[in-house]
């Protein structure tokens, strides 16, 4: 059964151009893009714009504002809270996500088996870090404790290069696709933001061991410039957040080909964020762009509700990427970071039939969610509640 998406315009993520074209889908593939095509059934896309499915490189699908603090809840609550989140993301045209910790391998299984609907989820399970890092649940009352206490979510705390290799092996054994590392504190907690919590030897051991394990890669939570620079020099694939990058950090990232996933929602999408922090975050994006650091979309939700995920595309556009650049960062470039660009990320023949149809043909990133007319995931139309 060949579906003809007829009469609309198509966004070419590689060039940033919009042109009139029909698209034919067969199974889970795009089989042709051009004019005057035909198919077994037609979908009228007149007046609309087809984009590749969006890819969020940094979200937390097993956390949401409705779930609240996941610690202290039964294990199933966290996993089941992802069911409506995943449906929401798919309805927004987000067809692939990298979970930056919180989801376990059972969620991926449930999606693969079709028990639940959602984007494809790449897993990192837990936030690896050294003693006292944000993944370490130690308290002065309890001492060392793991609030997950769940073999499918292995202990993320390590110290030293040998333990770095061991923690990567634990995560891979439990099904991690990516390794998530915390290299600084968090702005939410307000401590250690400019620290460098790993040694160069520890970071290098994580990256090397991840590569040995099926060519896996490392994403690094880093607000401060020195931690970002360390991550880049060690060969990490991406620096996440990066509120306080500087010239030296972006130079190291550009030299190493390290991606920047700014997650602007964590400063731009919230009230009560000091203006200094919002401006620093924008300056990081400006510096990265000027240095030629590749940028990909990540929301860090649920810092803002999952329903607001597409606002991140607009924040990227306004921070200097422009509409076409922000849409490329949300599709083709995100697919490149995730190693999936041969399979998805643009509307071309043989790529995965993940598409979004917007009302109107203009490349305007404001109010994207309100313009969504239809979504296809693996060639199937997504029913939108
Ligand atoms: Zn995050």
Q: Is the pLDDT of residue 380 over 90?
A: yes
Same domain, 29 and 90: no
**Separation of CA 58 and ligand 1 centre (Å):** 6
Q: Residue 151 and residue 90: Cα distance in Å, rounded?
A: 29
Same domain, 302 and 163: yes
**Separation of CA 19 and ligand 1 centre (Å):** 36
Q: Is the pLDDT of residue 330 over 90?
A: yes
**Separation of CA 23 and ligand 1 centre (Å):** 35
Distances (CA, A) of 124 to 57, 176, 260, 266, 382: 11, 5, 18, 20, 26
Same domain, 15 and 86: no
Same domain, 177 and 232: yes
pLDDT tens figures, 112-126: 999 999 999 999 999
| 148, 62 Cβ separation under 8 angstroms | no
Mark the residues whose beta carbon lies below 5 A from ion ligand 1: 100, 300
Distances (CA, A) of 356 to 77, 161, 359, 368: 31, 44, 10, 11
Q: What is the CATH number of the domain that holds 204?
A: 3.20.20.140
Same domain, 146 and 106: yes
Q: Which neighbouring-strand residues pair with 383?
A: none
**Separation of CA 139 and ligand 1 centre (Å):** 22
**pLDDT value of residue 215:** 98
**Separation of CA 10 and ligand 1 centre (Å):** 32
Same domain, 121 and 9: no
Q: Residue 107 and residue 116: Cα distance in Å, rounded?
A: 9
Distances (CA, A) of 146 to 60, 166, 174, 223, 336: 19, 17, 16, 25, 34
Distances (CA, A) of 309 to 55, 135, 270, 285: 11, 24, 13, 19
**pLDDT value of residue 65:** 83
Helix (H, G, I), strand (E, B) or coil at 383: coil
**Separation of CA 73 and ligand 1 centre (Å):** 20
pLDDT tens figures, 146-201: 888 899 999 999 999 999 999 999 999 999 999 999 999 998 888 899 999 999 99
Radius of gyration of the chain from Cα atoms?
20
Token readout for 273 is 């964020």
Helices (H) and strands (E) in the chain, counts: 12, 19
**Separation of CA 241 and ligand 1 centre (Å):** 8
**CB count in 10 Å sphere of residue 160:** 13
Mean of pLDDT values over 353-377: 97
| 18, 10 Cβ separation under 8 angstroms | yes
Mean of pLDDT values over 19-32: 98
Mean of pLDDT values over 211-226: 98
Q: Residue 76 and residue 62: Cα distance in Å, rounded?
A: 10
Determine the distance from the C-alpha atom of residue 47 to the mean position of all C-alpha atoms in its chain, rounded to a whole number: 30
Same domain, 19 and 122: no
Residues ≥6 apart with Cβ < 8 Å to 175: 104, 105, 108, 123, 125, 152
Smallest CA-to-CA distance from 235 within 260, 195, 201, 203 is with 203
**CB count in 10 Å sphere of residue 335:** 26
Smallest CA-to-CA distance from 185 within 248, 120, 130 is with 130
Same domain, 87 and 221: yes
Domain interval for residue 226: 54-337
The model's confidence at residue 68, banded by pLDDT at 50, 70 and 90, is confident
pTM: 0.97
**pLDDT value of residue 383:** 86
Q: Is the pLDDT of residue 385 over 70?
A: no
Helix (H, G, I), strand (E, B) or coil at 59: strand
Give me the sheet containing 29-34, strands edge to edge: 29-34, 22-26, 2-6, 41-44
Q: Is the pLDDT of residue 254 over 60?
A: yes
Same domain, 372 and 247: no
**Separation of CA 186 and ligand 1 centre (Å):** 10
**Separation of CA 15 and ligand 1 centre (Å):** 30
**pLDDT value of residue 194:** 95
**Separation of CA 193 and ligand 1 centre (Å):** 14
- % of residues, the chain, pLDDT over 70: 99
**Separation of CA 182 and ligand 1 centre (Å):** 10
Q: What is the CATH number of the domain that holds 10?
A: 2.30.40.10
The model's confidence at residue 80, banded by pLDDT at 50, 70 and 90, is very high
**Separation of CA 1 and ligand 1 centre (Å):** 40
Mean of pLDDT values over 36-63: 97
Number of domains observed in the structure of the chain? 2
Same domain, 35 and 70: no
pLDDT tens figures, 266-288: 999 888 899 999 999 999 999 99
- % of residues, the chain, pLDDT over 90: 92
**pLDDT value of residue 69:** 78
| Lowest-confidence segment of 52-56, 70-74, 99-103, 134-138 by average pLDDT | 70-74
Mean of pLDDT values over 94-106: 97
Same domain, 157 and 296: yes
Smallest CA-to-CA distance from 330 within 103, 47, 97, 124 is with 97
**Separation of CA 20 and ligand 1 centre (Å):** 38
Q: Residue 64 and residue 324: Cα distance in Å, rounded?
A: 29
302 preceded by a cis bond (ω within 30 of 0): yes
- DSSP label of 156: -
Task: Quote the mean pLDDT of the chain.
Answer: 96
Q: Which residue has the tokens 């979908």?
A: 43
Same domain, 14 and 70: no
């Amino acid at each position: 059964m060949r579906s003809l998406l007829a009469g609309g315009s198509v966004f070419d993520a590689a060039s940033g151009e919009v042109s009139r074209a029909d698209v034919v889908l067969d199974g889970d593939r795009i089989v042709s893009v051009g004019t005057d095509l035909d198919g077994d059934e037609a979908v009228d896309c007149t007046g609309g714009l087809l984009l590749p499915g969006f890819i969020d490189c940094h979200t937390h699908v097993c956390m949401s504002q409705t779930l609240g603090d996941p610690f202290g809840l039964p294990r199933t609550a966290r996993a089941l809270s992802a069911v409506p989140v995943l449906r929401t993301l798919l309805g927004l045209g987000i067809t692939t996500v990298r979970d930056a910790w919180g989801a376990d391998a059972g969620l991926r299984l449930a999606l693969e088996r079709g028990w639940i609907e959602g984007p494809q989820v790449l897993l990192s399970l837990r936030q690896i870090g050294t003693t006292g890092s944000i993944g370490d649940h130690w308290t002065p009352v309890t001492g060392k404790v793991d609030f997950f206490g769940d073999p499918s979510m292995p202990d993320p705390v390590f110290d030293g290069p040998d333990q770095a290799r061991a923690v990567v092996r634990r995560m891979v054994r439990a099904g991690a696709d990516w390794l998530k590392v915390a290299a600084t504190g968090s702005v939410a907690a307000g401590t250690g933001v400019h620290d460098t919590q790993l040694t160069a030897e520890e970071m290098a051991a994580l990256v090397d061991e991840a590569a040995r394990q099926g060519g896996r890669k490392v994403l690094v939570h880093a607000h401060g410039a020195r931690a970002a620079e360390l991550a880049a020099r060690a060969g990490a694939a991406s620096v996440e957040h990066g509120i306080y990058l500087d010239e030296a950090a972006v130079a190291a990232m550009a030299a190493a080909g390290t991606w920047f996933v700014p997650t602007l929602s964590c400063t731009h999408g919230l009230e009560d964020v000091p203006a200094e922090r919002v401006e620093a975050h924008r300056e990081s994006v400006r510096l990265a762009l000027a240095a030629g650091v590749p940028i990909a979309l990540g929301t860090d939700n649920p810092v803002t509700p999952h329903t607001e995920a597409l606002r991140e595309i607009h924040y990227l556009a306004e921070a200097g990427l422009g509409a076409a650049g922000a849409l490329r960062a949300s599709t083709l470039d995100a697919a490149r970071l995730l190693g999936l660009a041969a399979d998805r990320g643009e509307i071309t023949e043989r790529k995965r039939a993940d598409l979004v149809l917007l009302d109107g043909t203009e490349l305007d990133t404001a109010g994207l969610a309100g313009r969504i007319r239809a979504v296809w995931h693996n060639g199937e139309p997504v029913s939108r509640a």
